[in-house]
Structure 1
Amino acid sequence: MLLYPTSAPLAVIFDWYNTLINTSNINYNIASQALHMMGYNVSLDTIPNTQIRQYLTYLLNNKLKEWSILYEQILNKSQIEHKIQLNENVLEMLELLHQKSISMAIVSNKNGYYLRRDVYDLNLTKYFKSIIGANDTPENKPSPKPILAALEILNLPPTKKIFVIGDSISDVESAKNANCLPIMYNHNTNINGVLSFTHFKELSNLIINLSR
């Protein structure tokens, strides 16, 4: 049975990696380091940048999130300048939610310090009342604790009127464990019973329709 929202959300909680931000611009050396640390002895040299995300999704499957976090940790320590960018229509969607006074938060397994720095660098701080990253709570996703911590800051109870948007199974499990409504943003994965979308304009349209 599809978990479909019937009214506008009280709040929307977003994942960061591969959800709000686009991580397709990949440093090959660091990507390979992260793979080797996870036990994958593969070379990325022959794979075009435009296809590397698809390749990694196929190779890693449900370990893609783990690789993304490890990749970012190595990148941060390397001091290599890297430019992060939002996925298409994300800014318009954030502005829509802001105008409708719908509270927003970020819950990510990325280190909390670097997560908040990224949000600041992209000039998005005004949109989010709560930003929870790794080490901010005793457990990371798929535990419900990061979501519950964000809701405590928002002063909202966990209900199905809290939308949790993410691209991985751990996001869905965390939302379900917190008694919130999971919604998948993913081009490659569908989870039975979970609403999904592939473009943020679709999410904006959903919010508009639910707000009528």
Structure 2
Amino acid sequence: MKRLILCDFDGTISVRDMGYVLVNRFTSGNWEGIDQDFRDGKIGSREAYSRIAKILKGDQPTILRFIQEHSSIDPSFPVFYRYCREKGIDIKIVSDGLDFYIKKILEMHHLSEIPFYANCTQFREDEGIDVSFPHSEEECGLCGTCKKKLVQIHQKRYDSIFFVGNGLSDRCAAQEADFVFAKDSLYPYCIKKDITCHFFKDFQEILNDLKKQIHGIIFDLDGTLIESYEAIYLGLKECFQYLGKEIFPFQDLKTYLRADLEATLSQFFLPEEVLKGIPVMRKKYEKVYLNKTHFLDGAEEVLNTLHSDGVILGIASNKFGHFSRGVLTHLGVSDYFKSVIGAGDVARNKPFPDMIHAALKEMELPPEEAIFVGDTLTDIETGKQARVDAYGLPTGFHSKKELSQGKPKRLLKNLQELVRVAKNPLS
């Protein structure tokens, strides 16, 4: 399979947006006003560069020296690039920036062989510049370099195209690519548009994703695989009655649920009351939870498929361990799981990493060969604390938008997507 990675430059390979750095240093006019018009959508980057070219002044040697002194790249990019070369994955840079500083920065880091597409700059004798746009799309005319068009051109030559980016000029390309690695403003855009993407901080994370093989999946339980809100509410109601307080309406349950029972009750009761109320809630919950718990839509089928495919499965839930094991037995899937870790089984609950660490030990897997799937921001934080890729699932506690704020590795559209992802994480 012939693969290509098309990669943005400014703010992605280059740590700083060198276009902004240069105009801030070498323009004599109101470049901030031009930039504001661009950010407000009044003009595209092509028009912005045409205006900036009129107020940018500096001779080429001085500007190149400035670039050498003030530029830097993601330190993990050269390692990432070498890996891709070894694996036969082509890399090309697609930038809406200016060619001269991209060329200079690549030379500085011995990466001149990487092909790139960018807006072209001509230095004049009067210390001004002229900018031309050989890769623009005339029908649209907004961007100097139309990355969408470049993706489409390369689709004829490659079996799959990955796109790496971070900003406004990357949006159209992200919609065309087979898979996207996104950060900064591109990430929420992809989430909003339902574009499948992985969040990344640096190229080391993308390198890890390219190498990733999923041999095990650890699941949260409530809101991820099962729904037991009625049982939880009945337990809380018993607790509230015991402590002499009227409980909130059932429809407000999600508003008040927290990472664990103690945190939930602490919103309403003093610490000494919480200690008295916890056993009351658990006693009632134990009476009703089996008959008041059911699989979320598609969960049983997904577990059947993953188990049949040989994926090692585990549970990490803030539900008490014996409750977690009991409900899995009741639902007939306990044999699917090599590890079931709940509250009381380890020293600390989520978001501390103890549960994930314990599950991985029982599953006999290193962190890089597993993922953790959950429906809350607490789950995402737990995965990060345990150094396991966290996948958000908007089927329970939090919405898609809310989960995206935690920046999970991936935000699943539904549980069924896991069947495909387990076989190919970049699909």
1:54-203 equivalences in 2 (<5 Å): 55-57=252-254, 59-60=255-256, 63=258, 66=261, 67=264, 73-77=282-286, 79-80=287-288, 82-159=291-368, 161-187=369-395, 188=399, 189-192=402-405, 193-194=407-408, 195-203=410-418
Distance in 2 (CA, whole Å) between partners of 1:43 and 1:64 is: 18
Give the superposed CA RMSD: 3.2
State, as a whole percentage, how many aligned pairs show the same letter.
24
Gaps spanning 5+ residues in structure 1: where? none
Q: Counterpart of 1:91 in structure 2: which amino acid?
A: E
Mapped contact 1:65–1:168 kept (Cα < 8 A): no
Contact 1:88 1:199 in 2 (8 A): no
Matched residue type, 1:123: G
2:390 maps to a residue whose letter is P
Residue deviations 1:160-203 (CA, integer Å, cap 9, x gap)? x3110111222112111111000111252323321223521232
1:37 & 1:27 partners in 2: Cα distance? 16
Counterpart of 1:205 in structure 2 is 420
Q: For the structure 1 residues 180 and 34, does the alpha-carbon distance in structure 2 shift closer, same or farther, using more than 3 Å as the test?
A: farther
Normalised by the length of structure 1, the TM-score is 0.78
TM-score w.r.t. length of structure 2 = 0.41
Q: CA deviation at 1:146?
A: 1.1
Matches of 1:140 and 1:146, distance apart in 2: 7
Please tell me whether the aligned partners of residues 231 and 293 of structure 2 are also in contact (alpha carbons under 8 angstroms).
no
Shift of 1:112: 1.1
Aligned length, in residue pairs:
199
Q: Which residue of 2 aligns with 1:18?
A: 223
Q: Deviations over 1:102-149 (max 9, x none)?
A: 100001111111211111111111210011111111111111111111
Based on CA coordinates, which of the two structures has the bigger radius of gyration? 2
Q: Which residue of 1 aligns with 2:214?
A: 9
| 2:370 alignment partner AA | I
Which string of whole-angstrom CA distances, capped at 9 and with x for unpartnered residues, describes residues 35-91 of structure 1?
A: 7899x86531xx6xxxx2xx333x327x265449x69725335x2463311111111
Shift of 1:209: 4.3
Query: 2:377–2:403: 8 Å Cα contact kept in structure 1?
Result: no
Aligned letter for 1:156? L
Distance 1:158 1:27 in 2: 32
Q: Which consecutive residues of structure 2, in runs of 5 or more, have no partner in the other structure? A: 1-182, 184-198, 201-205, 266-277
Determine the C-alpha separation between the residues in 1 that align with 2:325 and 2:421: 28
Name the amino acid aligned to 1:177: Q
1:88/1:152 CA distance change after superposition, 3 Å: same
